[in-house]
Amino acid sequence: MFRDEASIEVIAGKGGDGVSSFRREKYVIKGGPDGGDGGDGGSVVLVASTELNSLLKVGRAYRYSASKGRAGGPRKCTGARGESRRVLVPVGTQVFDADEGTLLFDLAQEGDELLVAKGGSGGKGNVRFANSVRQTPTHCTPGKDGERRSLKLVLKIFAEVGLLGLPNAGKSTFLSHVTEAKPKIADYPFTTLDPQVGIAQVGNYDTLVLADLPGLIGGAADGAGLGHRFLRHVERCRVLLHLVDVSSSALESPADAWRTLDRELMSYSPELHAKPRITVATKHFEDAESEEGLAALRAAVREAAPQGAEARVHPISSVTGEGLPELLAMAQTLVREELGRTQGA
């Protein structure tokens, strides 16, 4: 199961108490103070890991606590530090303070760490309070409480290529034929309710990470249908494949279907709309009327393309496999170009 949001509470460990103690020593009043400090409490740390691809496991536990520090001991012995709690979250997890709503950190790389609750400091033993005037202090201090915080975790999945389209555009079928992913496939809308990620082989050596995002509808940018919940995942992708059904069984005319999603991308984010995009005419080789749908789709894309910009429209059939290798090669080229552009910026 997939889960891209979770609310958790993190509680750092309390510091250990300092102690009041005196050693036995000849010619020293009361033996002299030797009470040690308490150990610091453990902290709670979030760690980005590729071992997870969902917040489901993280959200189930809800509360994460680190251990307390141990009390100090005689002979100026400092108590042991509390053990910190390291919580694995998927790469791409954004961490928000639930009370203030502020973004604390974006765990965007494998191994990224964020200290979300610092352990309390240990108390001071009575040896700390000895001086030339007060040579036999009995005073010691307790350990301080660790930080406690409520967090909201939001996952934006990482994929090089994002698959977009209205319901029944053929995204799941495409993903299942070019990767080992097994998304649900049926002839009714919204069969995909969770993002599905797969790795496609391109040529003999290269690979592409693709994400099938649930079907969008008109008004998605305003929250209609699956709305913002899944549009946000597209922001991580470098290249977009906009799939449009051009067969006679299409639920909507290819031109209208393309314009609907194009508007939603612009409404949601102009930056997202400007990402490199290939329009994919799906189910093209599967019936005689698909050629007419392809022509209408190409006309709509050319009409909307900025002057001088390339209007990329590529026909495929996931069922027969026609056009799939060429499409993956085109997408790989765009991913490399986009990666080179962003790294050189």
Q: Which CATH architecture has domain 161-344?
A: 3-Layer(aba) Sandwich (3.40)
Query: pLDDT digit string (tens) for 2-21?
Result: 677 899 999 999 999 999 99
Percent of the chain, pLDDT > 90?
47
**Span(s) in the chain for CATH 2.70.210.12:** 5-155
Helix axes 227-234, 254-268, angle to 10 degrees: 80
Query: What is the structure's pLDDT at 192?
Result: 47
**Between 218 and 126, the higher pLDDT residue:** 126
CATH topology of domain 5-155: Spo0b-associated Gtp-binding Protein; Chain: A, (2.70.210)
User: For 201-237, what is each residue's pLDDT tens digit?
Assistant: 887 778 888 888 765 544 434 444 444 455 666 777 8
The least confident of 123-127, 173-177, 246-250, 303-307 is 303-307
pLDDT at residue 188, as a whole number: 41
pLDDT in tens, 129-146: 998 888 889 999 999 999
- The answer, as to whether pTM is greater than 0.75, is no
Domain limits, CATH 3.40.50.300, in the chain = 161-344
Average pLDDT of the segment spanning 180-194? 51
Phi, psi of 30 (to 5 degrees): 55, 15
- Confidence category of residue 278, pLDDT binned at 50, 70, 90: very high
**Res. 38: pLDDT tops 50:** yes
**Long-range CB contacts (< 8 A, 24+ apart) of 321-325?**
321/177, 322/284, 322/285, 323/284, 323/285, 324/174, 324/177, 324/178
